[in-house]
């Protein structure tokens, strides 16, 4: 039996941040595990590398809700942050099921148990392993915006009242545990607003802003935080998803923001 516990901690605002000290201290080993399993935690093989396992498996989630995935071939992804996700070949980047950190993985013969601090469990029954490998990805340099998108952010920060009368800029590239929000603003009523800026507004951008909002609304100094999705073009599917999640959509005219004449300037 192998136990892998991710190097995750909790920030002052409730965010889960990487913990630099790994392997765990003697006091940390086995924390949260039943007494009979704490010895196994000392044999932790977690190395901070990404692990890819392709296996024929069955997956059951036990927690606030229950979910069942019958036996089939799937990709099991264990990231360096300790998260475990289950993927198929027909859902792009979205997992079928997952467990977010902080959580720990216990491996028995043919059975994985992933448990978080709330006691929720992801039970993975493995019939056959087809591939199992670990990879060191190194330091992530982060997203590099293209010239137009970066300039849009700069222009909108300079002219934040374009988004509404009485708006003020708090900060560009406002940091979160999963990456920076393009603009953090306050509207005329003093409500925090996270603004995500894209050249083309796709569903991925809405999903990205949704994740930011989930984290930002955990911070009592900021909450409530609402979202604005701003782009030169917004696809109908992205707009529908955004509006369904209470996110405002804004269409930007790049030339107008640069101070050039344009009959097509729209903001709605």
Whether the model pTM is above 0.85: no
pLDDT at position 48 is 67
Q: Are 159 and 124 within one domain?
A: no
107-152 pLDDT, tens per residue? 999 999 999 999 999 999 999 999 999 999 887 776 655 557 888 8
Is residue 40 domain-shared with residue 79, that is, in the same domain?
A: yes
User: What is the pLDDT, as a whole number, of residue 129?
Assistant: 96
DSSP string, 135-184: E-----------HHHHHHHHHHHHTGGGG-TT-EEEEEEE--TT--EEEE
263 occurs within a structural domain: no
Q: Which residue(s) pair with 201 in the sheet?
A: 234
Does 151 lie in the same domain as 216?
A: yes
Q: How far apart are CA 153 and CA 218, in angstroms?
A: 25
C-beta of residue 239 within 8 angstroms of C-beta of residue 262: no
The answer to whether position 267 is within a domain reads no
Q: Give CA–CA dist 224/213, Å, rounded.
A: 9
* Band of pLDDT at residue 54, cut at 50, 70 and 90: very high
Q: Please check whether residue 223 is in contact with residue 193, taking contact to mean a CB–CB distance below 8 angstroms.
A: no
Specify whether 12 is located in the same domain as 126: yes
Is the Cβ–Cβ distance between 68 and 77 less than 8 Å?
Answer: no
Residues 90 and 177 in one domain: no
Q: Which residues contact 138 (CB under 8 A, 6 or more apart)?
A: none
The tally of CA atoms less than 13 A away on the side-chain side of residue 171 is 7
- The answer as to whether 266 is a domain residue is no
Neighbours of 40 (CB within 10 A): 17
151 with 130, same domain: the answer is: no
Q: Which domain holds residue 55?
A: 2-135
Residue pLDDT, tens place only, 183-240: 999 999 999 999 999 988 999 999 999 999 999 999 999 999 999 999 999 999 999 9
Higher-confidence position of 31 and 168: 168
Inform me whether the pLDDT recorded for 265 exceeds 90: no
pLDDT for residue 178 is more than 70: yes
Q: Please give the Cα distance from 46 to 40 (Å, whole number).
A: 13
Please state, in angstroms and rounded to a whole number, the distance separating the CA atoms of residues 257 and 152.
8
State the pairing for strand pair 84-87/97-99. antiparallel
């Amino acid at each position: 039996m192998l136990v892998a516990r991710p190097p995750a901690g909790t920030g002052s605002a409730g965010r889960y941040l990487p913990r630099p000290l790994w392997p765990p201290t003697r006091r940390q080993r086995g924390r949260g595990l039943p007494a009979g399993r704490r010895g196994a935690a000392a044999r932790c093989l977690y190395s901070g590398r990404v692990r890819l396992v392709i296996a024929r498996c069955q997956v059951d989630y036990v927690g606030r809700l229950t979910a069942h995935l019958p036996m089939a071939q799937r990709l099991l992804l264990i990231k360096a942050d300790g998260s475990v996700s289950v993927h198929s070949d027909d859902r792009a980047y979205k997992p079928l099921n997952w467990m977010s950190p902080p959580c720990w993985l216990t491996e028995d013969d043919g059975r994985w148990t992933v448990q978080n601090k709330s006691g929720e469990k992801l039970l993975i029954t493995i019939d056959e392993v087809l591939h199992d490998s670990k990879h060191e990805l190194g330091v992530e340099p982060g997203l590099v915006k293209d010239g137009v998108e970066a300039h849009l952010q700069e222009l909108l920060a300079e002219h934040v009242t374009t988004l509404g009368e009485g708006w003020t800029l708090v900060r560009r590239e406002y940091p979160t545990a999963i990456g920076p929000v393009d603009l953090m603003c306050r509207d005329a009523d003093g409500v925090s607003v996270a603004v995500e800026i894209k050249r083309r507004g796709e569903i991925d951008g809405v999903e990205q802003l949704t994740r930011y909002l989930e984290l930002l609304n955990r911070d009592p100094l900021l909450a409530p935080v609402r979202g604005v999705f701003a782009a030169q073009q917004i696809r109908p599917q992205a707009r529908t998803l955004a509006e369904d999640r209470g996110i405002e959509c804004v269409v930007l005219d790049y030339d107008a923001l640069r101070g050039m004449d344009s009959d097509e300037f729209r903001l709605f």
